[in-house]
Structure 1
């Protein structure tokens, strides 16, 4: 990872899913670059472990965390409120938390879990914090997506909850496509508000992402381990989108290896991004 110590000094970053893998690598690097960092995760113990690591690596770093489950809409609303109550600016929101399940599971809200965490959690948290991002000087939204979207096919708006013929990889791929479509629509809506939105493919990252995500994920991680990137390498494009002046005015793109890429019409129909936004508003009871 390219070091750029101090490049984030004076900027506040809110990062979800920071306790392992890519998220942990990003948290360590952002703290070293001087960011005022706030994390969101599900485990207080894991948060404290990362906080200790940050203190050891970067004495004097400012790092706080909030505990919440992004699969619970009440938790998302609570942690968003807790962040706003900190009365801090928000320069960068990095939506990174994600999962994949072997079998179909539902959240406390009765929604299919992969779609709820990987997309609706991003959608709701971002919208709850948009005013704070708009108040920043060039606020940025970064979403960890994946080129796994290519294997999910187009979104099936008649079955976004994957109630028929559940396939873990297809559902995961579609949740990553949802990240890309959300990014596109957010960028369009915020084009006059000074907030940019971009997402990126981290590559196949060697991490413990699979530990809490079922047997299928563990098998896939084991098979792919010889070809996997390090978490630090996987985080590079996200860090570039969060910090680089080169992309300050760039918005609405899916980045791969630091470069913007187009999403093919084989998985995206005209109007899909707008329709996903509308459905997401309904599913989260949020109107922008």
Structure 2
């Protein structure tokens, strides 16, 4: 009998500890991972929003939310097949037919210029530009214009796109330009003598640099647009579970999948959760009139100190102008 009581005691303790652990993990996930949500109920009827990379992940969920608010939403996508699927998804989820697909390859200056020309011809206004598209941890390769792929796509592509659309955005003020960066920008640095990594390429280092450039671009753009009614934002969306293991080779994916899945559940947001800070910057009354800041978890955050060096932000702008022939 004493043995049975001892066993029951151990079982009860185990169950209690397990319950506490589960509750603890759930609380950690809710407060530390999922974070805040965009609570604004603002309608966007009559407004036009462009979302790059809207065929998947947080871009698609961002487009869905904007469409639900009544905006005309333009999905700017490289992959037209996935783009058409995303348009159907957004239309079905929002009940809006005012959702269109436009082809845009941010790794091609020609594609960016064609896209921008069509938008300027066809649209009367641009109220919200979401620079969301990006590539991450790619092997070393170049864009068709000779830029390192991550820096060329994540920074230079959006730099050119924004500048080509800027007059229309200013005409539509008050308007907002939101650039999706990453917490990885804290680990980034610039080398103006070798921005394209002709020596010692590392996929992580390159990604971090491109994300630092996003933050610096938004800050410098905000300064240049003071008094125009256009406000700019950069942000960290959180770790999104669709990104985990993306560039593992097939064999390694099979090995690590059992490990990555529970980790992704615990430490990564869903695309809908990951879109919240983007949406907060794009529509929230709390973000109104605030420009050039870096945001995380729907709040202003302190960026990498390198992003606060005015001289380097200006230098990056001028370098980028030269690279894209502006």
Q: Give TM-score scaled by structure 2 length.
A: 0.81
1:207 equivalent to 2:242? Answer: yes
* Closer, same or farther: CA 269–93 of 1 in aligned 2, 3 Å: same
Q: Where does residue 61 of structure 1 map in the other structure? A: 97
Would the aligned equivalents of 1:34 and 1:61 in 2 still touch at CA under 8 Å? no
- Answer yes or no: is the 8 Å Cα contact 2:240–2:274 preserved in 1: yes
Q: Which residue of 2 aligns with 1:36?
A: 72
Separation in structure 1 between the aligned mates of residue 301 and residue 324 of structure 2, nearest angstrom: 29
- Equivalent residue number for residue 198 of structure 1: 233
Contact preservation (8 Å) 1:118, 1:179 = yes
CA deviations 1:95-127 (Å, max 9, x no partner) are 000002442100100110100000001100000
Residue 110 (structure 2) pairs with residue 105 (structure 1): no
Q: Is the 8 A contact 1:139 1:195 kept in 2?
A: yes
Cα distance in 2, alignment partners of residues 240 and 265 from structure 1: 24
Aligned equivalents of 1:101, 1:264: Cα separation in 2: 20
| 2:322 partner SS | helix
Q: Is the 8 A contact 2:239 2:269 kept in 1?
A: yes
Which structure dedicates a bigger proportion of its chain to helix?
2
**Alignment partner of 2:165: what SS?**
helix
User: Structure 1 length normalisation: TM-score?
Assistant: 0.92
Deviation at 1:269, TM superposition (A): 3.8
Structure 1 equivalent of residue 288 of structure 2:
248
Task: Describe how 1:197-236 pairs up with structure 2 within 5 A.
Answer: 197-207=232-242, 211=246, 215=249, 222=260, 224-225=263-264, 226-236=266-276
**1:1-288 equivalences in 2 (<5 Å):** 7-152=43-188, 154-207=189-242, 211=246, 215=249, 222=260, 224-225=263-264, 226-265=266-305, 269-286=309-326
Of the two, which has the highest radius of gyration?
2
Give the paired residue count.
Answer: 284
Q: For the residues of structure 2 that align with 1:6 and 1:188, how far apart are their CA atoms?
A: 26
Unpaired runs of at least 5, structure 1: none
Q: Classify 1:281/1:55 alpha carbon distance in 2 versus 1 (closer, same or farther; 3 Å).
A: same
TM-superposed CA distance for 1:5, in Å, is: 5.9
Deviations 1:152-204 (A, max 9, x none): 2x211111101111111111011000000000100000002221101110010
CA 264–53 in structure 1, closer or farther in 2 if over 3 Å, else same? closer
Q: 2: CA distance between counterparts of 1:227 and 1:164?
A: 34
Distance 1:107-1:140 versus aligned 2 partners, 3 A rule: same
CA contact (8 A) 1:181 1:273 kept: yes
Where 1:271 maps in the other structure, the secondary structure is helix
